[in-house]
Structure 1
Amino acid sequence: MTVAVVQFGGSNCDRDAVQALAHLGIDADRVWHEDGLPEETDGILLPGGFSYGDYLRAGAMAARSPIMAEVREAAENGMPVLGVCNGAQIGSESGLTAGAFTTNRSARFQCEHVHLRVERADTPWTRAYEQGEVISLPIAHGEGRFEIEADRYEAIQAEDRVLFRYCDAAGNVTESANPNGSTGNVAGVIGDRASVAVLMPHPERATLPDIGGTDGQGVLAGFEA
């Protein structure tokens, strides 16, 4: 498995992602978006950061890079694709998943650890967990609030596309546990295929035992063959 970690102007979590994947024994290389996907690509990670300075809105400009047409085609063909933070914004802007990520309810950048409840345990990104399990990952975003039209939200719930929800330490999905005002406390969703997912929290920052814990390892393990 070779994961292409796509780097845009303003990406700043690409090296973290490569190191975290390497810690799990997964080969990964940074790929500059203008160079396109290498032929040997087996998985794609869209990392966090501030692509193009979040001009227009977060992820909007990177979503229009030519490489994203390749990413969409790869996703449609079943290749595992994961978008994290800014990568989630790029993914939703590209139509990989439903909804959008907008300015936090607080209108401030927020950097803290949060609790997440695993809503599905039958996807590549969650098979290391149990359904209903609570994990802890850090967030670091100013535009992380998941928004979606009411009828589309009902649809993704009916289609079981919610991957993680913000919760308290006991797994209760409450308003006080919602750090950014996301609809339904949604922290991560999957696309048309379970092999495609986006989430706002950073699993790569909770992968190395000495910094940030290891709860994120299971998410990144979704790239393992």
Structure 2
Amino acid sequence: MKFGVLVFPGSNCDIDCFKAVESTIGQPVEYVWHTSTDLSAYDAILVPGGFSYGDYLRCGAIAQFAPVMAALKEAAEKGKYILGICNGFQILTEARLLPGALLRNKELKFRCHSAKLRVVNNRTPFTSDYAENELIDIPIAHGEGSYYCDEATLKELQQNGQIVFRYEAGNNPNGSVDDIAGVSNAAGNVVGMMPHPERAVHELLGSADGKRMFTSILNAWREQSGTAVIGG
């Protein structure tokens, strides 16, 4: 399975994503510059955190127009696995690959600490190695991570199982509607989340709970291609 990690000017979690793939599942992984126009070589694409184009205007608002985004939309339509993390989540919402938007944190402060997440939907290619309703420890680092959508969209997300992660009840760090920490598209092959699973792949980092996101993706691809799966 081949992974691509998109790199925009201002990305700063691209190396973290690269190392997470390399160290947790040992699959081929490459950096892909924002000017690229072809993602056909990759089975999964990671859109990392950071401050793409300096986060001028809104976070992700400029990155959505990068040449690579047309190829990313094509990859999404073909059912390839796409994971947007933090700024990557913001980019995916700006590009309308995911519903909703990310607003300034409720307290208008940058939040950087461990966070407890509830696995709401473990039937996605990104979460199959988790138990439903499992509480996991994944760090956050964002200033504009408050997920927002209108009531009609929220009802649709709830009914379709598109809410993938919620912050632990009573511990919402940013004011996200319905405590949402991560959502998927209707097809389930595109997921965006504010917390950083790539920073939680080993106990030395404080948690290894993020590792199973990467094993889940690999297992989903192996099941699709008829290859033996691996343990989480």
Superposition TM-score tier, normalisation by shorter sequence: over 0.9
- Structure 1 unaligned regions, length at least 5: 168-172
Contact 2:108/2:143, CA 8 A, preserved across alignment:
yes
Shift in alpha-carbon separation, 1:17–1:111, aligned structure 2, 3 A: same
More divergent stretch after superposition (21-30 vs 157-166): 21-30
Shift in alpha-carbon separation, 1:29–1:212, aligned structure 2, 3 A: farther
Deviation of 1:199 (Å): 0.2
Root mean square deviation of aligned Cα: 1.1
Shift in alpha-carbon separation, 1:38–1:153, aligned structure 2, 3 A: closer
- Measured in 2, the distance between the counterparts of 1:38 and 1:195 equals 15
Deviation of 1:38 (Å): 4.5
Contact 1:204/1:216, CA 8 A, preserved across alignment:
yes
Matched, 1:214 2:208: yes
- Structure 2 unaligned regions, length at least 5: 222-232
- Measured in 1, the distance between the counterparts of 2:128 and 2:51 equals 30
More divergent stretch after superposition (187-196 vs 207-216): 207-216
- Residue in structure 2 matched with residue 36 of structure 1 by the alignment: 37
- Measured in 2, the distance between the counterparts of 1:199 and 1:26 equals 22
Matched, 1:73 2:74: yes
Aligned length, in residue pairs: 218
SS in 2 for 1:210: helix
- Measured in 2, the distance between the counterparts of 1:209 and 1:133 equals 18
- Residue in structure 2 matched with residue 196 of structure 1 by the alignment: 190
Q: TM-score, normalised by structure 2?
A: 0.91
Deviation of 1:148 (Å): 0.4
SS in 2 for 1:34: coil
Identity of aligned residues (%): 42
Give the AA of the match of 1:27: P
- Measured in 2, the distance between the counterparts of 1:79 and 1:53 equals 28
Matches within 5 A, 1:112-191: 112-167=113-168, 173-174=169-170, 177-191=171-185
Deviation of 1:12 (Å): 0.2
- Residue in structure 1 matched with residue 17 of structure 2 by the alignment: 17
- Measured in 2, the distance between the counterparts of 1:39 and 1:185 equals 35
Matches within 5 A, 1:99-110: 99-110=100-111
Contact 1:20/1:208, CA 8 A, preserved across alignment:
no
Q: TM-score, normalised by structure 1?
A: 0.94
- Measured in 1, the distance between the counterparts of 2:38 and 2:141 equals 27
- Measured in 2, the distance between the counterparts of 1:114 and 1:37 equals 35
- Measured in 2, the distance between the counterparts of 1:71 and 1:38 equals 7
Matched, 1:6 2:18: no
Deviation of 1:151 (Å): 1.2
